[in-house]
Amino acid sequence: MMKESKYLSRQADALGFIHWTEDEHRIWSDLYCRQIEVIRGRACPQFLSGLKLLDLPPDQIPQLPHVNSALEQATGWTTVQVPALINFSEFFRLLANRQFPVATFIRSREDFDYLQEPDIFHEVFGHCPLLTNPAFAHFTHTYGKLGLAASKEDRVILARLYWFTVEFGLVTSAEGLRIYGGGILSSPGETVYALESNQPLRLPLNPVEAMRTPYRIDIMQPLYYVLADFEQLFHLAQSDIMALVQQAKRLGLFVPRFPPKRQAS
C-alpha cells in the first residue's frame, strides 16, 4: 500500500501549463540558486550539459511543455504530470513509454531542506538533465520495460538497482569522482557529503551487489556505487538484467549498514 502524501499535485490547463503562485516560484528560485552553486565541481559533465540544454529558468518553476520540447529533441523522452505518489506499476509503465513522471507540486518552506517525496524540483532539476543523455535515457527506458514485466518480488530487487544508480549514483570522470544520481543532485547536504565526507563507503558498481544492498530513504547514504564511466550504464542496459536479479535473489540481502528506523511511539 502506498503511503499518503500531504501534498497535492497542481493541475495543468488545457495547454499543459500550471498557474503557480508567486510564493511557489520563489521557493523554486531559492532552491535553484542554492543548488546550482553546490553542484559546481561536483555534478558529472553529462548532467551539466543536460542542464544547459534544458535551460531551466532560475526564477520560476519551469513549465513541462518547455521541458518536453528539449527532452524529446534530445532522446525522445517527455515528462508527464502525475499525482504526488504513484505505484510501481504506473511508474514502470511510464518509463517503458519514455515518459518521466513529475509530481506537480513544490515543497513548502517547512520542508525546504529535506523532503522524502519527489517534488517538481527533485524530478526536473535532479533527473531531467540526464534524460538528455543517450546512455542514461537508454538505461532508464530498459529499466522501465523490465520492471513492467517483472513480478512484485523482482520489482523490489530492481528498485535497489535504480536507487544506487539513477537516484544515488556516482561516476568516475576525467575531472575525478562526480555525481549523476538525481537524489543527490537535488539535495545540498548530500551533494557535499557524497563526495567529500570520509564516512560513506564508495565501491565500484557491481549490479548484483547493488541489488543486494538495503537502503533507507531518510538518511545520508552509508554506501555509494561508482560507475567506471557513463558507457558502463549503457552496457548494463544491454546485459541480461533479469538474470542478475535472479542471482541477487539467490544470494540474499547484505547486512544493512544503518540502524533500523525508529518506530513512532
Quickly count: other Cβ atoms within 10 Å of residue 116's Cβ: 9
Task: Tell me 43's DSSP state.
Answer: B
Check the annotation: does 127 bind a ligand: yes
Four-residue CA torsion sign, 135, 91, 25, 181: negative
Query: Could you tell me whether strands 176-179 and 170-173 are parallel, antiparallel, or unpaired per DSSP bridges?
Result: antiparallel
Please check if 66 is assigned to a binding site.
Answer: no
CA dist 246 and 221 (Å) reads: 25
Cite the DSSP H helix spans in the chain.
22-38, 45-54, 64-75, 88-96, 120, 134-149, 152-162, 182-185, 188-196, 207-211, 230-238, 241-251
Dihedral sign computed on CA atoms, order 258, 36, 136, 122: positive
Residue 231 labeled ligand binder: no
Sheet holding 223-227, edge to edge: 176-179, 170-173, 223-227, 201-204
DSSP string across 114-177: --SS--HIIIIIIIGGGGGSHHHHHHHHHHHHHHHHS-HHHHHHHHHHHIIIIIT-EEEETTEE
Length of the chain: 265
Binding residue numbers: 122, 127, 167
Enumerate the known binding-site residues for Fe cation. 122, 127, 167
